[in-house]
Amino acid sequence: MIRIYCHDQHKTSDELLCAECRELLDYANRRLERCPFHGDKTTCAKCDIHCYRPEMKAKIRDVMTYSGPRIIWHHPVLALLHFIDGLRKQQGRQKS
């Protein structure tokens, strides 16, 4: 999603990210690596633990708002799998 955002908003090539987006991607990856929920994590917006710094949270929100609706055109299989995974996790929480 960051790649889509960077390409469209910062006019970078498909393979490269600008320095700002590279920093955001590295930061997000570090946050995910340290997440106590790992594979059971909900979406960050619904998480009880907010591990992003406010300025990075604002940047990632901009990326998600822009790229979310466009992801289906760039990666339709991944978008479908993400949607199914969200439904599966939501049903699992309702049963608990």
Query: Do you know the residue count of the chain?
Result: 96
Cα Rg of the chain, angstroms: 14
The pLDDT of residue 93 is above 80: no
Angle at which helix 19-33 crosses helix 2-10, to 10 degrees, equals 170
Structural tokens at position 24: 């955001």
Whole-number pLDDT of residue 96 = 56
**Residue 17 and residue 4: Cα distance in Å, rounded?**
10
**Residue scoring higher pLDDT (68 or 44):** 68
Q: Are 6 and 12 in contact (CB under 8 A)?
A: yes
Q: pLDDT tens for residues 1-34?
A: 999 999 999 999 877 999 999 999 999 999 888 8
DSSP code of residue 68: G
**Residue 9 and residue 66: Cα distance in Å, rounded?**
9
**Residue scoring higher pLDDT (58 or 38):** 58
